[in-house]
Structure 1
Amino acid sequence: MPRPQPSDPYADLADLVLNVARLIRLRTPAEPAVVPLTATERQVMRIVDLDPGCAPSRIAERAGLQRTNVSTALRGLEAKGMLTRTGHGRSVTVHPTELAQANLGVLRGAWSALLADLLGDVDPATIARCNETLAHLERRFAGDE
């Protein structure tokens, strides 16, 4: 029989965040209008959506990815019509396309419907505090705070 783990709020939070993210992905309805992305491409697009015009080196830094993996993801995303790269050498910048913005809009709509259905009875102020805490955590991971 497994030994129960001692309560640790930080470990519990990490475990819950990872599991909830997995469940959201599993329960997001397959939309024909959504361009399928790999896990690395999703990470890269999140950063490009939050920081249009960023450099590939900044994407690698924020995502904690190897530069070669970012380059591979950028090529794949460009081939899928999700982003454009401008400039040359170290002055390359990355921008989402209209297709990427539409893709994100469809996904956000599906996520909103899913979570509204599951959390409709939760006080909106509680949801806002949760969002603020997770956004703060994300900024800390990105080195923005």
Structure 2
Amino acid sequence: AVLSLQGFAAGTAEDMVAERAAGPEELILHRERIGYLHHAIQALPERLRLVVEGYFFDERPMTEIAAGLSVTESRVSQLRAEALALLRDGLNTYLDPELVPEVDRAGGCVARRREAYYSAIAARSNLRSRLELTTQLGMPAGYTA
């Protein structure tokens, strides 16, 4: 059916044609978040990075990761939880700062390590380097359909 756009009240024509694809702004933000995530993983301390990469990217079982690190499965689970908390706070520091929890002891050892981690993310990350990790459609760089 052919319809006239002049026959619609304001706002009703737009409601009939729902745009399902992400717009350019949403796509750039998505690509930037992915870039931040990759840089945050690269900035993790080595043992935490090995656990995250082994568990999430390589899909290795915990027993295999534990054997490679010479620790128990329980310890791998603890390291994974620690890494995820550090990643969450590291990403939120740059993407959503109001979600970063207040530090109890601002000058303490843990706070200094966290600040060093946040600085490491910033040092390896700029807009260009974040966007280079994905294609213009938000797929991983080098991905072919």
TM-score by length of 2: 0.30
Higher strand share: 1
Whose RCO is larger (CA < 8 A, sep 6+)? 2
Larger radius of gyration: 2
